[in-house]
Amino acid sequence: MDQNFQEELTQIIKFKPPLHKQRHQFVKDLVEKYKPKKVADLGCADCSLLRMLKFCSCIEVLAGLDICANVMQEKMHTLSPLPVDYLQPSERSLTVTLHHGSVAHKDPCMLGFDLVTCIELIEHLEEPELKKFPEVVFGFMAPSIVVISTPNSEFNPLLPGVMLHRHPDHKFEWNQAQFQSWALETARCYDYSVEFTGVGHPPTGMEKAGFCTQIGVFIRKYPRTGESVQSEKPTEAVYKTVFKAVYPSLKDEKYLQNAVISEVIFTAQIIKHHFMSKHQEYGDDPERKSKFQPSMDCFSDCLGKLVVEKNMEPFVSGNEVYIPLATIFSFPKVNRLCGTFEKLCKLIAGKVTLSSDGSAVMFSIEHENEEN
């Protein structure tokens, strides 16, 4: 190979983004396409794919499995919820779990997944493990989709410095025909279809080499049998759970209540602020006194449209200003959080100061004056 060509090649095969990122992006794109709720990553190593997938809003259950506990545990803390997750709990629920064990063994914690990813895993398996792998993944776990990626050995001559295998722990590296015949046979055996693709394009003129990383996407042909799946497959737990994080979610009544209380007080304060400024402005005009007259600021459109009915108008009585709950409930965010007016009343009961009949949030005007 002349030097110019070699330099050109070295430039081409410096994948951008790096190949490992392209593989993870491939999985992310697949998640965005099929919207699985439960995803398991087998051979998750340092959990980098899981870290990326936790931001996919369709996913409610994420699990990782690896035979090496140390590599998983090194960065598993990065899968824990952040302070912001507690300050603004998400609408979806999310549980992330890491298990220590082998893909050659069945464990009931791996049942019920929609998508199972095996990124650069199979080439690390010893022959007896590779033999058991299809029965565990396709027979036992039987998710709707399985993604398997593995190096394409036909690309190796194009990679500088690769002699036998790309990594010393690789037990084998298959060419395209080897991978495809294994995948087609596995798919046939467990009633899946499989399509082949990859990441890391070959240089122009060398298309025959195929993708640097070959990928098989397997889709289960038969429908899920529902609850029976788990009961039909009694198996003893063999994996050890090494990490579990339950993310704060508005599906949890405790976080929903906090979010609703904050939103109700915030909304009521805004309405009160508008009302009081108008109340003071038109204080001497008997026609306009106590009427809610939104001005032209950012909230006025919303308020103007919503405060249409008499019983939704704020009012003053004595030293108190009252903001009807019906008005607060009309605000989109409060409405979306609570769903029903009854739920709003239930969530704020005893937590927000209300009028004696419970129909309005009550604020002291004196307190308002002090604040100003």
Give strand ranges (E) for 34-78. Answer: 38-42, 61-66
Closest distance to ligand SAH from the beta carbon of 147 (Å): 11
Q: Report if residue 122 touches ligand SAH, rule: CB under 6 A.
A: no
Instruction: Mark the segment that binds ligand SAH (CB under 6 A) among 77-85, 96-104, 213-221, 301-309.
Output: 96-104
Would you say how long the chain is, in residues? Answer: 372
The beta strand positions in 101-256, using DSSP E, are 115-119, 145-151, 192-199, 213-220, 240-246
Instruction: Choose between 101 and 294: whose C-beta lies nearer to ligand SAH.
Output: 101
Structure tokens at 197: 């693709």
Residue 215 or 354 having the CB closest to ligand SAH: 215
- Residue 40 CB, shortest distance to ligand SAH, in Å, is 11
- For the four alpha carbons of 279, 283, 285 and 289, in that order, the dihedral sign comes to positive
For 328, counting Cβ atoms within 10 Å of its Cβ (0-12 exposed, 13-18 middle, 19+ buried), the class is buried
Candidate residues 26, 31, 66, 213; the one interacting with ligand SAH per rule CB under 6 A: 66
| CB of 218 vs ligand SAH, minimal distance in Å | 17
156 to 162, 165, 307: CA distances (angstroms): 6, 8, 70
Which residues between 250 and 279 bind ligand SAH (CB under 6 A)? none
Tokens of 137: 């993944």
Binder of ligand SAH out of 30, 53, 65, 354 (CB under 6 A): 65
Contact with ligand SAH (CB under 6 A) among 30, 39, 45, 323? 45
CA distance to 1, 4, 12, 211, 290, per residue, from 7 (Å): 10, 5, 9, 20, 80
Q: Which two tokens stand for residue 146?
A: 């399985």
Among 26, 63, 76, 120, binds ligand SAH (CB under 6 A): 120
| Among 60-68, 192-200, 263-271, 301-309, the segment contacting ligand SAH (CB under 6 A) | 60-68
CB of 188 to ligand SAH, least distance (A): 24
Question: What 3 state SS string does 309-368 have?
Answer: CHHHCCEEECCEEEEEHHHHHHCHHHHHHHCCHHHHHHHHCCCCCECCCCCEEEEEHHHH
Tell me how far CA of residue 286 lies from CA of 280, 290, 293, 295, 318, in angstroms: 12, 9, 14, 19, 17
One-letter amino acid at 290 equals S
Amino acid at 272: K
- CB of residue 216 to ligand SAH, shortest distance in Å: 15
Comparing every residue's Cβ against ligand SAH, the nearest one is 43
Alpha carbon separation from 16 to 23, 196, 200, 333 (Å, rounded): 12, 22, 9, 41
What binding mask, one character per residue, do residues 128-147 give for ligand SAH by CB under 6 A, x or -? -x------------------
My answer on whether omega of the bond before 17 falls inside 30° of 0, hence cis, is: yes
Query: 130 or 302, CB closer to ligand SAH?
Result: 130
Please report whether residue 76 would count as binding ligand SAH according to CB under 6 A.
no
What tokens appear for 56 in the block? 């996919």
Q: Are 282 and 288 in contact (CB under 8 A)?
A: yes
- What number of chain residues touch ligand SAH (CB under 6 A)? 22
Contact window for ligand SAH (CB under 6 A) among 44-52, 106-114, 346-354, 363-371: 44-52
> Is residue 103 a contact point for ligand SAH (CB under 6 A)?
yes
The answer to the question of residue 102 lying near ligand SAH (CB under 6 A) is yes
Rule CB under 6 A: choose which of 20, 37, 92, 170 binds ligand SAH: 20
CA distance 150 to 251: 38
The answer to whether residue 43 forms part of the interface with ligand SAH (CB under 6 A) is: yes
d(Cα 75, Cα 261) in Å, to the nearest integer?
A: 36
The binder of ligand SAH chosen from 53, 125, 141, 146 (CB under 6 A): 125
Q: How far is the CB of 167 from ligand SAH (least distance, A)?
A: 8
Q: Can residue 63 be called a binding residue for ligand SAH (CB under 6 A)?
A: no
Range in contact with ligand SAH (rule: CB under 6 A) among 11-19, 40-48, 258-266, 364-372 = 40-48
Binding site for ligand SAH (CB under 6 A): 20, 23, 42-45, 48-49, 65-68, 71, 102-104, 119-121, 124-125, 129
